[in-house]
């Protein structure tokens, strides 16, 4: 479900200055309202405040717009039974398309930078060099706990060390890569095998492209698909020290001629992990070898 503000007139839109509530398809919103009669111009250049409220007791959704808090007006209201439309577990976010100038883009970055939530990585700012780059808050453990701790994405060594690391985040990234290319959820089983084991087995018989999402048919670049799947598998390397850094993964994806590290034909049954221990008198770090059966 979405609440949209639109400055682009498609053939199914009423004008270039409207808001709407969408539940299924953007070409068929359940309700829309032009803002012209309310003297609100989305392209005025002024800051516009938006407030969305849902009253669960009467199943009513309200959308307020205005140039300031004191000028907020109800522009849309709709009786809607959200539990029958929105899944019990869902994401809340923001997206954008069309009408994207440099000034507008920076205004959106400024807005996103004000968001504060324990499940949203804080955007601190941006810079311009050869391209625009975004600066996010540094996460001391190397990533977001709510991601690295999610079932299916959890690196096996974390089950022993109970600590998220940059290397365990690399493992999680690799799992996302396999999900996207294969069209299969990380927690799914293919026969009696996990997604990672299934893809690794197909790699061992030189049939990686058989893992590509069947919905694509043969409409994809086979070499590109193989390269991306290899990047995903490298992220599962049994020796944490050999899991590639994000910079290297990006370089490989941008340059297909850049060589990948060699992968064993069969997925190793052991994983190498560092374990830190401390006492009142000493601190030390040991590097252990554990079997997947111990860690999963």
Q: What's the mean pLDDT in 60-67?
A: 92
Burial of 292 (0-12, 13-18, 19+ CB in 10 A): middle
pLDDT higher than 80, residue 143: no
Q: Is the pLDDT of residue 59 over 50?
A: yes
Chain region(s) in the chain for CATH 1.10.510.10: 145-295
- pLDDT tens digits, one per residue of 121-140: 677 776 666 556 667 666 66
Q: Where in the chain is the domain with CATH 2.60.40.4220?
A: 2-84
Q: Domain 2-84 adopts which CATH fold?
A: Immunoglobulin-like (2.60.40)
Tell me, letter by letter, the H, E, C secondary structure of 146-159.
HHHCCCCCCCCCHH
DSSP summary character for residue 261: P
Superfamily holding 145-295 = Transferase(Phosphotransferase) domain 1 (1.10.510.10)
* Structure confidence at residue 229 as a pLDDT band (50, 70, 90): very high
pLDDT higher than threshold 70 for residue 284: no
Please write the tens of the pLDDT for every residue from 149-205: 556 778 877 777 777 788 888 888 889 899 989 999 888 888 888 898 899 999 999
Contact 213, 246 (CB under 8 A): no
Mean pLDDT value across the chain? 76
Rounded to 5°, angle at Cα 204 from 201 and 208: 75
């Amino acid at each position: 479900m979405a609440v949209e503000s639109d400055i682009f007139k498609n053939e199914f839109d009423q004008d270039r200055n409207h808001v709407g509530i969408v539940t299924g398809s953007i070409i068929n919103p359940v309700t829309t309202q032009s803002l012209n009669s309310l003297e609100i111009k989305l392209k005025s250049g002024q800051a516009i405040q938006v407030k969305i409220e849902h009253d669960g007791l009467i199943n009513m959704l309200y959308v307020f717009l205005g140039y300031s808090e004191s000028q907020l007006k109800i522009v849309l209201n709709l009786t809607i039974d959200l539990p029958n439309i929105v899944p019990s577990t869902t994401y809340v976010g923001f997206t954008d398309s069309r009408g994207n100038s440099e000034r507008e883009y920076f205004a959106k970055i400024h807005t996103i930078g004000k968001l504060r939530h324990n499940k949203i990585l804080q955007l601190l700012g941006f810079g311009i060099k050869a391209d625009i780059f975004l600066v996010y808050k540094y996460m001391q453990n190397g990533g977001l706990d709510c991601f690295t701790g999610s079932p299916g994405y959890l690196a096996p060594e974390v089950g022993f060390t109970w600590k998220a690391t940059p290397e365990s985040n690399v493992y999680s990234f690799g799992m996302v890569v396999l999900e996207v290319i294969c069209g299969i959820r990380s927690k799914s089983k293919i026969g009696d095998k996990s997604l990672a084991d299934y893809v690794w087995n197909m790699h061992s018989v030189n049939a990686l492209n058989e893992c590509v999402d069947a919905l694509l048919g043969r409409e994809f670049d086979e070499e590109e698909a193989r390269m991306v799947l290899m990047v995903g598998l490298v992220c599962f390397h049994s020796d944490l020290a050999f899991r590639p850094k994000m910079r290297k993964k990006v370089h490989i994806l941008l340059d297909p001629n850049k060589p990948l590290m060699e992968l064993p034909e069969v997925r190793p049954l052991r994983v190498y992990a560092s374990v830190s221990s401390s006492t009142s008198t000493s601190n030390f770090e040991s590097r252990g070898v554990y079997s997947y059966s111990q860690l999963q």
